[in-house]
Chain A
Amino acid sequence: MSEHRLPEPDRPWVMRTYAGHSSARESNELYRRNLEKGQTGLSVAFDLPTQTGYDPDHELARGEVGKVGVSIAHKGDMQTLLGGIPLDQMNTSMTINATAAWLLGLYMAVAEENGVDPGRLQGTTQNDIIKEFLSRGTYAFPPAPSMRLIRDMIAFTVDAVPKWNPINVCSYHLQEAGATPVQEIAYSLSTAQAVLDEVRSRVPEDTFPRVFGRISFFVNAGIRFVEEHAKLRALGELWEQLGRERYGVEDPRYLRLRYGVQVNSLGLTESQPENNVIRIVLEALAVTLGRNARARAIQLPAWNEALGLPRPWDQQWSLRIQQILAYETDLLEYPDIFEGSKVMKGLVEELVEGARAEMAVVAEHGGAVEAVDYMKTQLVESHRARIAAIESGEQKVIGQNAFTSTEPSPLREGEDAGIMTVDPGVERAQIEAVETWRSERDAAAVAAALEELTTAARDDSVNVMPATLAAARAGATTGEWAAALREVFGEYRAPTGVSGAAAAPDGAALAELREKVERVSTALGRRIKILVGKPGLDGHSNGAEQIAVRARDAGMDVVYEGIRLSPARIAQAAVQEGVHVVGLSILSGSHRELIPTVLHQLDEAGANVPVVVGGIIPPADEIALLEAGVARVYTPKDFEISRIMGDVVDLVADRYGVAAEAA
């Protein structure tokens, strides 16, 4: 046997595609086609109402039903979603957090109905609420009860569904929010530690090593793929140490870092989008190259994510990247190819050291839950620095700020302009379907189950999973489950992190912008005031945060309320705050429904202010929005924030009839 070859090539990782849209039926068809193409696991994308605990007919669900994922309102939907898929053999990953306990309940209820013992189910519920507070925004309850739900799920599954990963601690979304590799490691490990500390007192001591072993991670890999690989090795090293030193885990099976991955979307560009395929391949190498830190499961984004929703063909292309890596290349034939590398060792040491120091800061704040404010501020700051580097050209992005001359891309020439659009009729159909469901079920049984759930939620010493499972079996809806818990737990708004962001370094461009803001403000009589708003349920707030911070640095008064605002609330804020301009950000694809509603509400409220919109907005939609009365539309290709700001000041000057330029 040789030292540089494995006796047998390794088995490939689990290959998934993050997929789901519209209804359970359409998503089920998509899943079955994907499995036929050689996908080996499922990764379910839920729509935002399902993720935040609202039924399709709730006011806040408007425009979001079936958009970024599938709408699952009850066990009937779940049954349809999984139709024809053998649950005892499938490995299903669900990107679900605030409502994770509920979706697991539905999954188990469906398994029971199909005659599958829940004890045999395999898969993952994402269930990392801290990164929802920090980055992704689909939280529903305040921190303490959210942590309790996670704790209850872990304590429940460790025996009832022993092959289930009840939580997938996410560094993925931290990178999407701008985290450096050190921050990614430190914040995700701090999160895991907070969760483990919470669970430790709730399970028997001899069960705890198994609990530790069930914690998995969901990571990101960016374009600096050598350092990114080192990051995963560093994470593995620190994870093992944490297990040994803090929790006394000794069994190597439980100490090994297990992670799944979705590679970076933040760096994917709207300009020359074909280049994204190359980026995705390189990022896939970061998580597969070295055997000692190779991913257990991989899903890759599609080349056109910065343009709109990917089509099945786009996702197939990404699956083929995985299959070529696993089946055509010789990647799986060798032991770890970085063992003995001085460079890799040095990189890992650097990251381990940096992450330890940052974890100590989080610990000083009282741990990950208490440090949400601190971590959020750090992330906003890192993201600000990243954007500044791209704006200045210091960080090169090919096709966007370097080598920008290009031939027209044939990939976007099709009738669909290279993206998928969800049929707006889906929402209507889902609303009717949930109404029918409610009218046909045993109402008394549902009421009793929800009552039981409320009782369990009120008592911190009771595990909410059994009552959740009973409510799932009885036919309760996603919105009903969450409403019962909201009643007991209350609601919450996460910190926006913007007020602590450092001011942008002074530069000529910013100085010029400030002068212009001063000039226009003086002419207006008071400082330019802007409302930055995120309508709908979309929690991806990074863009809105950066706009808010830059507007402040440019000298404006900025009202930023964070995510999840109803159009009525945005209109009210615009009027009461007396703003000169409203900026809206939407990335969930619900702009065609929500933006006109905001415009209408502003009209009703008598606010005659210009509205600008930013987000992933395809050209055809841009035209429609401008026709509906939006003053400006910005998309990912407009990466120079100072230029956007200058444009907004010109718009304000023009609308209020004052001069923008010095006389």
Chain B
Amino acid sequence: MAVDGATLGRRLRERDTAAAPAALNLIEDRSPAGREQAAALLGEVSPGALGGEAPAHLIGVTGPPGAGKSSLLSALVDLWRGRDRTVAVLAVDPSSKRSGGSLLGDRARIDHDPADDGILIRSTAAGTRLGGLAPPTREATQALAAAFDLVVVETVGVGQSETDVEDVSDTVAVVVQPGSGDTLQFLKAGIMEVPDVLVVTKADQGGTALRARRDLAGALGALGCPETPVLAVSSLPPPTGVEELVEALEAHRSRLDVRAVRLRARRMAALADFTAEHGERALRALGGRRAAEAYLADQDPTLDASALGGRLEQRARSSA
């Protein structure tokens, strides 16, 4: 298939949301020709090409199955679209280990108008790599951030995959339902990193939701993060707490040094990809993790992660 990655990248840069599905197809393409075109696409939406970081707010939404993530997203999407902000949702599902196949059903639960081209929902399988996120998710986020106002990465899990979500998000929101003690335990035990925003769903359940909110706030206080917002929302009509959540997400973003966070994330991702692809031995050939990090810190800060990965490979080849 002759798909021109650079053209798709330019269209995204011009905020043509209709180019997004084809761009995502290309990013998922693992064939050599596909990878080449995808690199061209990503080059067109790199900070260098954009003249700075993409203005989109990248939000990670994660939580255990059944916590109400999708209903919450419906309410969020509704509110954002009401304010004329374009939204892309990447819903990441775990895939079947044995067959490699997967069942992706999340888009059904996010209410939206099919005629509205300001909303894109894309389901993707987590694939076989350890950790929570599909390998191309980061690239997809980067591409979508050029065209949409908000890019939401939705993942399932508590405790393990948050670090991955963190790598692709400016703001991470963890969603829990009342009465599930796991998150509380994970937080207390330090298994789970403290998220930027905690959301307790099903606030319509009254007492249990209040209790959950209080317990989480207490745990955060004990961990020295009393300022982390804990919000209660109900997605049942009429939804409550959603505006407050949007404010909390925006407040977090406004306090953030976006450039520094994303630059660090790009470097970490380049290193992780390099190691996953070539192994620890190749890393040692670069002089070890620390040396590789120092090398990355010297590179042009407007390069995207795959370009940085390319630099690492070049260096590994020349030092071999």
Interface residues of A (CB under 8 A from B): 142, 373, 487-490, 493, 496, 498-499, 503, 514, 517-518, 522, 524-527, 548-549, 551-562, 566, 568-569, 571-573, 575-578, 656
Could you say which of B108-116, B214-222, B245-253, B269-277 contacts chain A?
B108-116
Subset of 22 A-B contacts with CB under 8 Å: A489-B237, A514-B100, A522-B30, A524-B31, A525-B30, A525-B31, A526-B29, A552-B101, A552-B103, A553-B99, A558-B101, A558-B103, A560-B104, A566-B114, A568-B114, A572-B114, A572-B115, A576-B20, A576-B21, A576-B122, A578-B21, A578-B122
Chain B 236-286 interface residues, beta-carbon cutoff 8 Å to A: 236-237
Which A residues touch B122, using CB under 8 A?
Answer: 576-578
Q: How far is the CA of A548 from the CA of B93 in the complex (A)?
A: 15
Minimum Cβ distance to chain A for residue B120 (Å): 6
11 extra interface residue pairs, beta carbon distance < 8 Å, beyond A568-B115, A569-B114, A578-B22: A490-B236, A496-B108, A499-B93, A503-B96, A503-B98, A518-B100, A551-B101, A554-B99, A557-B104, A558-B103, A576-B107
Which A residues touch B125, using CB under 8 A?
Answer: 527, 557
Is B24 in contact with chain A by the CB < 8 A criterion? yes
Which B residues touch A554, using CB under 8 A?
Answer: 99, 101
B28, B98, B123 pick with most chain A CB within 10 angstroms: B123
Minimum Cβ distance to chain A for residue B77 (Å): 13
Interface residues of B (CB under 8 A from A): 1, 20-22, 24-25, 28-31, 33-34, 66, 93, 95-96, 98-105, 107-109, 114-115, 120-123, 125, 236-237
Which one, A498, A526, A566, A578, contacts B103 given CB within 8 A?
Answer: A498
B99 and A555: CB pair below 8 A?
Answer: yes
Q: Nearest chain-B residue to A144 (Cβ)?
A: B236
Q: How far is the CA of A572 from the CA of B125 in the complex (A)?
A: 19
Q: Nearest chain-B residue to A503 (Cβ)?
A: B98
B105 and A498: CB pair below 8 A?
Answer: yes
Q: Nearest chain-A residue to B34 (Cβ)?
A: A525
Which one, A489, A496, A557, contacts B101 given CB within 8 A?
Answer: A557
Q: How far is the CA of A522 from the CA of B28 in the complex (A)?
A: 12
A559 and B105: CB pair below 8 A?
Answer: yes
Q: Nearest chain-B residue to A606 (Cβ)?
A: B18
Minimum Cβ distance to chain B for residue A645 (Å): 11
Which A residues touch B100, using CB under 8 A?
Answer: 514, 518, 527, 555
Which B residues touch A498, using CB under 8 A?
Answer: 103, 105
Q: Nearest chain-B residue to A601 (Cβ)?
A: B114
Which A residues touch B114, using CB under 8 A?
Answer: 566, 568-569, 571-572
Which B residues touch A527, using CB under 8 A?
Answer: 100-101, 125
Which B residues touch A526, using CB under 8 A?
Answer: 25, 28-30, 34
A490 and B101: CB pair below 8 A?
Answer: no
Which B residues touch A556, using CB under 8 A?
Answer: 101
Q: How far is the CA of A566 from the CA of B125 in the complex (A)?
A: 25
B237 and A490: CB pair below 8 A?
Answer: yes
Which A residues touch B104, using CB under 8 A?
Answer: 557-560, 577
Which B residues touch A503, using CB under 8 A?
Answer: 96, 98-99
Q: Nearest chain-B residue to A504 (Cβ)?
A: B99
Which B residues touch A555, using CB under 8 A?
Answer: 99-101
Which A residues touch B22, using CB under 8 A?
Answer: 578
Q: How far is the CA of A552 from the CA of B103 in the complex (A)?
A: 6
Q: How far is the CA of A519 from the CA of B205 in the complex (A)?
A: 50
Minimum Cβ distance to chain B for residue A146 (Å): 13
Minimum Cβ distance to chain B for residue A449 (Å): 22
A503, A558, A572 pick with most chain B CB within 10 angstroms: A572
Minimum Cβ distance to chain B for residue A296 (Å): 39
| Shortest beta-carbon contacts, A-B, top 9 | A561-B108, A525-B29, A525-B31, A552-B101, A490-B237, A572-B114, A569-B114, A578-B25, A568-B114
Q: How far is the CA of A552 from the CA of B101 in the complex (A)?
A: 5
B99 and A562: CB pair below 8 A?
Answer: no
B33, B95, B100 pick with most chain A CB within 10 angstroms: B100
Which A residues touch B24, using CB under 8 A?
Answer: 578
Minimum Cβ distance to chain A for residue B140 (Å): 11
Q: How far is the CA of A496 from the CA of B115 in the complex (A)?
A: 24
Minimum Cβ distance to chain B for residue A545 (Å): 10
Q: How far is the CA of A518 from the CA of B28 in the complex (A)?
A: 15
Q: Nearest chain-A residue to B125 (Cβ)?
A: A557
B24, B93, B114 pick with most chain A CB within 10 angstroms: B114
A493, A496, A548, A578 pick with most chain B CB within 10 angstroms: A578
Minimum Cβ distance to chain A for residue B29 (Å): 4
Minimum Cβ distance to chain A for residue B173 (Å): 23
Q: How far is the CA of A185 from the CA of B54 in the complex (A)?
A: 58
Minimum Cβ distance to chain B for residue A118 (Å): 33
Minimum Cβ distance to chain A for residue B1 (Å): 7
Minimum Cβ distance to chain A for residue B296 (Å): 29
Known: A142-B236, A573-B107. A557 touches B98 (CB 8 A): no
Which B residues touch A552, using CB under 8 A?
Answer: 96, 99, 101-103
